[in-house]
Amino acid sequence: MFNVADQLNFADKHEYVLSGVFEKGGRLEGFAAEADEKLGGQLTELLKNGEISSKKKIVGKIHTLGLMGPKRLIFLGLGKEKGLSFEFLREAFGKVFKSLQEAKANSVTVILDSFTNDSVDANDAAHALGEAFALATYKFEGYKQKSNETEKQIEAITVVSNTESHEINASLTVGYMYGRGTNSARTLVNLPGNMLTAADMAAYASELADRYGFESEILVKEDMLKLGMGALLAVNQGSHEEPRMIVLKYQGKEEWTDVIGLVGKGVTYDTGGYSLKPREGMVGMKTDMGGAAAVLGAMEIIGELRPEQNVVAVIPSTDNMVSGTAFKPDDVITSMSGKTIEVLNTDAEGRLVLADAVTYAKQHGAEYLVDVATLTGGVIVALGNEMTGAMTNNEGLFEQVLEASYEAGEPMWRLPITEKDKERVRNSPVADLNNSPGRDGHAIMGGAFIGEFAEDTPWVHLDIAGTSVTKKASELGPAGATGVMTRTLALLVERFQVN
């Protein structure tokens, strides 16, 4: 897939050669200047008339007409040099790769040093390149009958840089693994509910465990009954598909200490139960396991990169269906922690399955918790579709998650949990907690409820209801599942510092 070279020979045959162009007052530098000389100054003329542009993210393709080895040159506008950043570069590379995919390109050679400045070195640029390639070229195949035509894919990327080849190759690989893990999460979320049951998700997790040597545990209904996982079992009551509690352990340290718990909501389809969703609200509920997908995608990245951290991933998985055996409003259930819960809304089921999962993660030694869930429509009302909602009980852990999210290009915004919010979820005449205190502050109520089970363990809650799926394509992927928080979780684990 990736090859690294220290120079480009203009006589060698290349299908495409990609170079960056900074705004330099109409001047070309580096590779672009060398190519301009080979082409008799024609590139300077094309820059003047706008067919090549140094403006941000403008892609110009030039056919060399046999005047040099490369068949086509691509110039990507980078704007002013001081404005270059890792995030911008990742998106810009994504735009180029989408363009090359549409052109049915087979290979491309990248002049990496033309995409660097004082703040983005060659290794950063290589990481951005590898990640963008994986993300931008992703496609969910779906279930349509296939034509006899084989779709052409980019099969070879040669990177030219003055930096040590082993460093560049390592950065390309790491970036690509981050992108590939995100794509795995995207595919899981895009799968329809009948193609991804709780048992299917458990089988997928077991395959990851076999591939990367994770310790694994898959609890079935009988196990959950013995352990008293009444919250997860209540949500599952209406289904003929049995639930699973999925556990993956990665030990990157000698001792099982300072364990990071990643907990992902794995509701494979959500009807709302007896608090039934309207027809329009039902479509798309196959994506209600986006948190589980993010955790599994992150575990794939962790398995590839082997950071020196300890991680336990816990995924409660079931669907939420309607039948004669389904749980209902006014029911009182007992969670694994022993806390009792009055059910006021069966469509507030995600926080119930997470309650038992958070408790179980702590039993497996998790000393820090991050849960990820498509939890509430309220977070979309509050923050829209570009920003993940976050809540916490620990400033130090939150700062680390926040930093990872912005580096991953998956921004979040913190919502408060006050003592009065906690009082609202504790307000029940018949139980310790209620699962739905009302519509006002809906997203906060969901987070506050889960926090009752995190208790004193440092914890961050990520509500990805608005960010797990997008209706429009971007430079880094198609419409559909985004795989959001996969890269954030992996970066958090990779760089985690004990408080």
Binding site per annotation, positions for Mn(2+): 265, 270, 288, 347, 349
Catalytic residue among 71, 277, 328, 422: 277
Pick out the residues of the known binding site.
265, 270, 288, 347, 349
What interhelical angle do 486-495 and 395-408 show, nearest 10? 120
Are residues 376 and 347 in contact, defined by beta-carbon separation less than 8 angstroms? no
424-431: long-range contacts (C-beta < 8 A, 24 or more apart)?
Answer: 424/448, 425/449, 425/452, 426/452, 428/341, 428/342, 429/342, 430/332, 430/340, 430/342, 431/332, 431/340, 431/341, 431/342
Q: Residue 2 forms beta bridges with which residues?
A: 157
- Token pair 């034509």 is found at 147
d(CA 194, CA 92): 37
Catalytic residue among 180, 351, 362, 487: 351
Minimal CA–CA distance to 458: which of 373, 391, 364? 391
d(CA 44, CA 32): 9
- Catalytic residue check, 351: yes
Are residues 332 and 430 in contact, defined by beta-carbon separation less than 8 angstroms? yes
Are residues 273 and 322 in contact, defined by beta-carbon separation less than 8 angstroms? yes
d(CA 54, CA 59): 9
Residue 249, H or E segment: strand 244-251
- Catalytic residue check, 277: yes
CB proximity list for 484: less than 8 A, separation 6 or greater: 290, 294, 388, 410, 464, 467, 468
Residues classed as catalytic: 277, 351
